[in-house]
Structure 1
Amino acid sequence: MASTSRTRNGRGRGRGRGRRRGGRGGGSSLLPPPPSSTLPLIIEEFFIVIYEDPLVKKALPKKFADYLDGQEPAKVYLRAADCGPRLWTVEVLFDGQGRMYLDKGWENFAIAHGVDFGCYVHFKYEGDDVLTVKVFDGTMCRKYYYSDDEDTDDESDDDVKPCIHPL
């Protein structure tokens, strides 16, 4: 009986290994099921990558534009994280196909915060048309700034006062 048991165990292991190598499916997946479509769409954070001229209008993700559906603002206010309380007024364009663009005012913000080719720009929607922005350079490291500008009047964007990178 001991010899039969050894033979049976040997065969069982051999067949099991063969099935695992060549077999497909049949096992349970360890991945969670896809999210339910009944969950509300909440887009609070997103980023864009600067592949083209950093000073021209920038397209925001379509999902974010969809999130704002029905409350499409004419302008948004950008606040650089860790750069004081100043809000930068940026006009917003919608193209009628669900795309949203940062337009007039974006150039001043980009210059003041060193947005350049290869940068990753992270946005966090704070509500009330305010977006907090963090800029990452091409090495994926965040650019930190501080502002010596006490003026929080967002109507003086023609006079670009850059945030100053700490030494």
Structure 2
Amino acid sequence: MASTSRTPTGRGRGGRGGGSSSLPPPPSTLPLIIEEFFIVVYEDPLVKKALPKKFADYLDGQEPAKVYLRALDRGADCGPRLEVLFDGQGRMYLDKGWEEFAIAHGVDFGCFVHFKYEGDDVLTVKVFDGTMCRKYYYSDDEDTDDESDDDVKPCIHPL
């Protein structure tokens, strides 16, 4: 009795199938989309911060001179506008303005900082402390009962 080898689609090799495949293309052929990444602060939290090289590569040819950082729990304002530094080696850094942002958001050794690229040079940011619990920031005049990420309005900044 001849055995038939089966492929992941359940069809035998060399059999009928008409050439179309229900399998997704291999990852190397999919477009590169980088919209979320994180950094772990294991050195001086107030000096410029390197962002992942893969994210810098994603922006290749569209490198911004400045980005807006927006903490989701600070409301609809954009927050600080930081200068971005590219070192010519494919690395991207958050430079001038990072120190103020780090102080205002309690970024310290061991913090985990999550970024989401929103396009238009806007990065939303969530800061987690060394225990991996998210830090929240509220002003004294805000009603904090109904705060959620869904309530955040889009950031509108001058051109």
Give me the whole-angstrom Cα distance separating, in 2, the residues matched to 1:146 and 1:164. 20
The answer to whether the 8 A contact 2:84-2:92 is kept is yes
Q: Deviations over 1:85-125 (max 9, x none)?
A: 999xxx00001010000000000000000000000000000
Structure 1: which 5+ runs fail to align?
8-17
What displacement does 1:160 show?
22
What displacement does 1:20 show?
25
What displacement does 1:39 show?
0.7
The answer to whether the 8 A contact 1:147-1:164 is kept is no
Q: Which residue of 2 aligns with 1:39?
A: 30
Residues 155 and 59 of structure 1: is their aligned pair in 2 closer, same or farther, counting only changes over 3 Å? farther
Q: 1:68 aligns with which of 59, 62, 66?
A: 59
Residues 86 and 159 of structure 1: is their aligned pair in 2 closer, same or farther, counting only changes over 3 Å? farther
Residues 63 and 124 of structure 1: is their aligned pair in 2 closer, same or farther, counting only changes over 3 Å? same
What displacement does 1:162 show?
21
Residues 40 and 113 of structure 1: is their aligned pair in 2 closer, same or farther, counting only changes over 3 Å? same
The answer to whether the 8 A contact 1:59-1:101 is kept is yes
What displacement does 1:5 show?
28
TM-score (norm 2): 0.66
Q: RMSD of aligned C-alpha atoms?
A: 10.9
Q: Which has the higher helix share?
A: 1
Which structure is larger by alpha-carbon Rg, 1 or 2? 1
What displacement does 1:31 show?
13
Give me the whole-angstrom Cα distance separating, in 2, the residues matched to 1:163 and 1:22. 55
TM-score (norm 1): 0.63
What displacement does 1:71 show?
0.6
Alignment length (residue pairs): 153
Residues 99 and 30 of structure 1: is their aligned pair in 2 closer, same or farther, counting only changes over 3 Å? same
Give me the whole-angstrom Cα distance separating, in 2, the residues matched to 1:78 and 1:6. 51
Q: Deviations over 1:114-149 (max 9, x none)?
A: 000000000000000000000000101000112469
Q: Deviations over 1:24-79 (max 9, x none)?
A: 999999999962x1211100000000000000000000010011000111100000
Deviating above 4 A after TM superposition, structure 1's stretches of 4 or more consecutive aligned residues are 1-7, 18-34, 81-87, 148-167
Give me the whole-angstrom Cα distance separating, in 2, the residues matched to 1:6 and 1:97. 47
Q: Deviations over 1:4-28 (max 9, x none)?
A: 9999xxxxxxxxxx99999999999
Residues 116 and 158 of structure 1: is their aligned pair in 2 closer, same or farther, counting only changes over 3 Å? farther
The answer to whether the 8 A contact 2:115-2:126 is kept is yes
Question: Does residue 138 of structure 2 align to residue 143 of structure 1?
Answer: no
Residues 86 and 70 of structure 1: is their aligned pair in 2 closer, same or farther, counting only changes over 3 Å? closer
The answer to whether the 8 A contact 1:124-1:131 is kept is yes
